Chain A
Amino acid sequence: MIYPDNKNSKQHSQSNQHSQLKKANVKMALSMAAGALLGTGVMVNDAKAEVLKDWQFDSAFLFYSEGERVTAAEVIVSGNKTFANDEILNLKLTIDSLTGASANGAVVQAQAQTFTRPSGEGQYVTPAGETPLDDTFKDTRVQLNAQWTQPLAENYTGSIGGHFSKEFDYLSLGVNGNLAVDFYKKNSTISLGLSHFQDTFTPMGGIPKPYASMPIGDSNSASWDEDLAKTRIGSSDKKVTSDVLLGFTQVINRRMITQFNYSYSMVRGYLTDPFKIVSVLDQQGTAQDYIYENRPNERNKQSTFAQAKYHFDQNLLNSVLDISYRYMWDDWQIKSHTLDSTLYMPLSSRFGKQSYLQPHIRYYQQSAAKFYRPYTFAEQENKTTPDENYISADYRIGAMDAVTLGVKYGFSLNNGNDFSVRLEYYRQMPNNAGFDEPSELSSLTVYPVVQAVIFQLSYSFL
């Protein structure tokens, strides 16, 4: 929650107050819609429209596809209501659905590989030369957010919020609070935010025992359930996340605004991915075994973030440049750099309607966690110190570069509502952070590129 945004959007909505006529039209349209839904005809009580009168809605549909890997669809509806004393209530509903296959952590081999599904029921085979993907990945998630923001005193703004998210195997509950202080004619703002999340993970098939070998065999055999149970240590586990966010916003001049943040995040609890395994290879690089990964039960992350927005003049089409940089580091020795930039370009208004084009570019680079290994070797197993006992082959905590290229086109409709469409291409390029590659893997793609296409439709209405 960053206050200056609220402030700006509020000023924006105030400066762009719709005419009484338009309001009446919206009211009538809503009345008619409500009437149609309730089957009470066109003549419905104004009170129904009254309820929705001060609400402003933003909605979006997003489609994300990695081709043969993960496909996700997500819908968001967010409503803002502003009350008489500038209090703002925001309610947001998010529903998403994931299907497809995700990398299970095992390394590619010159021959086909057989794995047991996370549930323990059945197996899947990865063909020779292909990255092992677990195709049982499927989930639907419902998320609810509520945020209440209000002025506490002259130049003081407070905000509190709640978060609820539920998937088949995951529950997340969160609260947050934020205090912002404006000074120097509201050209400067200091803010302090705190958030706390409590997550419970109940993975299908239970929590695997770290370092245990993935049982591979006939799941219909008499001893299967017993064999599987030996590799499990429980049915669910918890994770707690606490964040502190310090922010400073400074207006530079009529055309430029900047923001600087520092954040500290503490995560405690079960941080291992129960679905991820690590290949145990012999010296030539042939898989002998697959073991369940193991991550520390603590992670402390810090980040600094800087952003600048600049409004060009007519010579540059009144476009707005947004550029930001984030540096993140943590005690898993992951360091990352993120550069993000958009250029908002208003197009000459046709038929009295506003439209814009917004190209987007993002560059991301991260180093590997200290316990990341793309695979391990048989003789390296059973390390003695606890630190050496952590292991994960999840490429998402390995070294990688990623690039996003996108474009968004938006326009205002006759009734004053806004519509936009966004298309982006996301490319992840994992790389070798200095690990020895055995001979058998030399002709195979150990660090495959992941590509995704993101398509989004957004509609904002009153």
Chain B
Amino acid sequence: MKANKSSIKKSPQLYQSIAVSKTKFILLAVVLVNLSACSSLGVEPWERDLLATKAMALTSSPIDAALDDHIYFSKEASSGGKSFGGGGCGCN
């Protein structure tokens, strides 16, 4: 204990690192406070009844999405955004 105390007194680097970790702690606290402020967002696992339905999936019909992507990729200057817009066909 004595040795530790004296080493703290003697080492300015250690003070610095404590200061750094304090900053980190404050940052962490800010993040946590923010997260808890968002605690009104989201659901508990047992509240996923509606979210789990097919109609609520972000892409409820991947087949329709693939067909639409192909049509609009070949008829317009934009592609992707929701998923990859890459190449794939000589249709453009």
A residues apposed to B, CB below 8 Å: 1-2, 4-5, 8-9, 11-12, 15, 58-60, 62, 64, 74, 76, 78, 92, 94, 96, 98, 139, 141, 143, 163, 165, 167, 169-170, 172, 174, 176, 184-188, 193, 195-197, 199, 201, 239, 241, 243, 245, 249-255, 257, 259, 261, 263, 265, 267, 301, 303-305, 307, 309, 311, 320, 322, 324, 326, 328, 334, 336, 338, 344, 346, 356, 364, 366, 369, 396-397, 400, 402, 408, 422, 426, 428, 450, 454, 456, 458
Interface 1/0s, chain B 23-62, versus A by CB < 8 A? 0000000000001001001111101111111111111111
Instruction: Assess the B77–A309 pair: CB atoms within 8 A.
Output: no
Instruction: Assess the B90–A338 pair: CB atoms within 8 A.
Output: no
Instruction: Assess the A139–B87 pair: CB atoms within 8 A.
Output: no
Instruction: Assess the A311–B58 pair: CB atoms within 8 A.
Output: no
Size of the chain B interface, CB-CB below 8 angstroms = 47
Instruction: Assess the B71–A454 pair: CB atoms within 8 A.
Output: yes
CB-nearest residue of chain B to A14: B52
B80 in the interface, Cβ–Cβ < 8 Å? yes
Instruction: Assess the B82–A326 pair: CB atoms within 8 A.
Output: yes
Instruction: Assess the A344–B60 pair: CB atoms within 8 A.
Output: yes
Instruction: Assess the B59–A5 pair: CB atoms within 8 A.
Output: yes
Q: Using Cβ atoms and an 8 Å threshold, which residues of chain A touch B47?
A: 254
B7 in the interface, Cβ–Cβ < 8 Å? no
B residues apposed to A, CB below 8 Å: 35, 38, 41-45, 47-64, 66-67, 70-72, 75-78, 80-92
CA separation between A336 and B78, bound complex, in Å?
7
Q: Using Cβ atoms and an 8 Å threshold, which residues of chain A touch B57?
A: 4-5, 8-9, 12
Instruction: Assess the A261–B48 pair: CB atoms within 8 A.
Output: no
Instruction: Assess the B67–A249 pair: CB atoms within 8 A.
Output: no
Given the known interface contacts A12-B57, A139-B90, the answer about A303 and B78 at a Cβ–Cβ threshold of 8 Å is: yes
Instruction: Assess the B58–A307 pair: CB atoms within 8 A.
Output: yes
Instruction: Assess the A172–B81 pair: CB atoms within 8 A.
Output: no
Instruction: Assess the B58–A326 pair: CB atoms within 8 A.
Output: no
Query: How close is A93's CB to chain B, nearest CB, in angstroms?
Result: 12
Instruction: Assess the B55–A58 pair: CB atoms within 8 A.
Output: no
8 Å CB contact of A307 from B45, B61, B71, B82: B82
Given the known interface contacts A255-B50, A311-B50, A396-B92, the answer about A326 and B85 at a Cβ–Cβ threshold of 8 Å is: no
CA separation between A74 and B71, bound complex, in Å?
11
A-B contact pairs, 8 of them (CB 8 A): A5-B59, A58-B62, A74-B67, A76-B63, A76-B67, A245-B84, A311-B55, A408-B64
Given A59-B63, A167-B90, A184-B42: 14 more A-B contacts, CB < 8 Å: A15-B53, A58-B62, A60-B63, A76-B63, A172-B90, A199-B90, A201-B90, A241-B87, A243-B84, A257-B56, A301-B80, A336-B76, A408-B64, A458-B64
CA separation between A323 and B6, bound complex, in Å?
64
8 Å CB contact of B86 from A195, A303, A400: A195
Query: How close is A63's CB to chain B, nearest CB, in angstroms?
Result: 11
CA separation between A185 and B63, bound complex, in Å?
29
Q: Using Cβ atoms and an 8 Å threshold, which residues of chain B touch A263?
A: 80-81, 84-85
Query: How close is A50's CB to chain B, nearest CB, in angstroms?
Result: 26
Instruction: Assess the B35–A184 pair: CB atoms within 8 A.
Output: yes
Given the known interface contacts A78-B62, A143-B88, A195-B84, the answer about A344 and B55 at a Cβ–Cβ threshold of 8 Å is: yes
Instruction: Assess the B64–A456 pair: CB atoms within 8 A.
Output: yes
Query: How close is A272's CB to chain B, nearest CB, in angstroms?
Result: 12
Instruction: Assess the B90–A170 pair: CB atoms within 8 A.
Output: yes
Q: Using Cβ atoms and an 8 Å threshold, which residues of chain A touch B80?
A: 243, 245, 263, 265, 301, 303
CB-nearest residue of chain B to A8: B57
8 Å CB contact of A2 from B54, B58, B86: B58
Instruction: Assess the B83–A245 pair: CB atoms within 8 A.
Output: yes
CA separation between A344 and B61, bound complex, in Å?
12
8 Å CB contact of B85 from A12, A243, A251, A458: A243
Instruction: Assess the A167–B59 pair: CB atoms within 8 A.
Output: no
CB-nearest residue of chain A to B85: A265
CA separation between A58 and B87, bound complex, in Å?
23
Given the known interface contacts A184-B42, A254-B47, A311-B56, the answer about A426 and B90 at a Cβ–Cβ threshold of 8 Å is: no
Query: How close is A48's CB to chain B, nearest CB, in angstroms?
Result: 26
Instruction: Assess the B63–A458 pair: CB atoms within 8 A.
Output: yes
CB-nearest residue of chain B to A330: B77
CA separation between A84 and B16, bound complex, in Å?
52
CA separation between A144 and B61, bound complex, in Å?
19
Q: Using Cβ atoms and an 8 Å threshold, which residues of chain A touch B52?
A: 8, 11-12, 15
Query: How close is A193's CB to chain B, nearest CB, in angstroms?
Result: 7
CA separation between A346 and B86, bound complex, in Å?
34
Q: Using Cβ atoms and an 8 Å threshold, which residues of chain B touch A165?
A: 88-89
CA separation between A263 and B84, bound complex, in Å?
8
CB-nearest residue of chain B to A329: B78
Instruction: Assess the B86–A338 pair: CB atoms within 8 A.
Output: no
CA separation between A257 and B55, bound complex, in Å?
12
Given the known interface contacts A9-B54, A187-B41, A336-B76, the answer about A458 and B90 at a Cβ–Cβ threshold of 8 Å is: no
Q: Using Cβ atoms and an 8 Å threshold, which residues of chain B touch A456?
A: 64, 67
